Amino acid sequence: MILGIVGVVLALGSCNVVLGFIKADKIVLENDEYELAEMYLEYYGDDAGPHLYILVFVSDDIRWGETSISGDGEFVYLLLASPDRDLADGTYEFSSSSSPDDFDMGGGLVGVGADFDSDQAPDEFYEVVDGTVKVKELFTGQVLVEAELELDDLLEGGSGPDAELYFQGEIADEFDYSDLATSDIRPLSNRVFPGL
């Protein structure tokens, strides 16, 4: 009986459960919700400062690789400055500084209706201009990420919607780009949508 109860508690503990309800991995833009299926880490080294990471979240139909990206759907792309080689637990606050400090969030991008098999811009494309990102490692390779973001609209100009992100799960893959200079870290808009 006790083993059964412990098993149920462990099973529930490994799910995204909040007050008895399963919480989905998603980004919410005002009232529109978009599911997120996977998280990737891109590591860009420390370059005599904090360790720079880009967290990438994608919907189910996007394939994010070290040298190629394909598919269509939604993505979120966040630049974080960690004090440690491993992405550190903590709250990362937005900073527009070109010389990031520990626990800075250097912005990011959000795309809705992106088609990585063409060079067209996403249906909705936003730049992160303020906000916070909370990161917590739950188990080895399992992380919880929660973010509240303010966005500017890259296609229409002006302010975009506020966004909330929730993701709990495994890191699908980590790509090490630490041999690149910090100046070579190109924003996703230039890497994938060169016409913007």
> In 3D, which of 53, 165, 174 has the Cα closest to residue 112?
165
The pLDDT > 90 percentage for the chain reads 57
Q: Cα dist. 159→95, 125, 154, 195 in Å? A: 18, 12, 9, 21
Q: State yes or no: pLDDT of 191 exceeds 70.
A: no
Q: What is the pLDDT of residues 105-156, one digit of tens each?
A: 999 999 999 998 887 889 999 999 999 999 999 988 899 999 999 999 999 9
Cα radius of gyration rounded to whole Å, the chain:
17
Residue 15 pLDDT > 60: no
Q: DSSP for 46-59?
A: -TTSSEEEEEEEE-
60-100 tens-digit pLDDT: 999 998 888 889 999 999 999 999 998 999 999 999 988 88
Percentage of the residues of the chain whose pLDDT score is greater than 70: 80
Residue 1 — pLDDT band, cuts 50, 70, 90?
A: very low
Position 9 scores a pLDDT of 38
**Burial (CB count <10 Å: 0-12, 13-18, 19+), residue 96:** exposed
What is the Cα–Cα distance from 108 to 102, expressed in whole angstroms?
Answer: 17
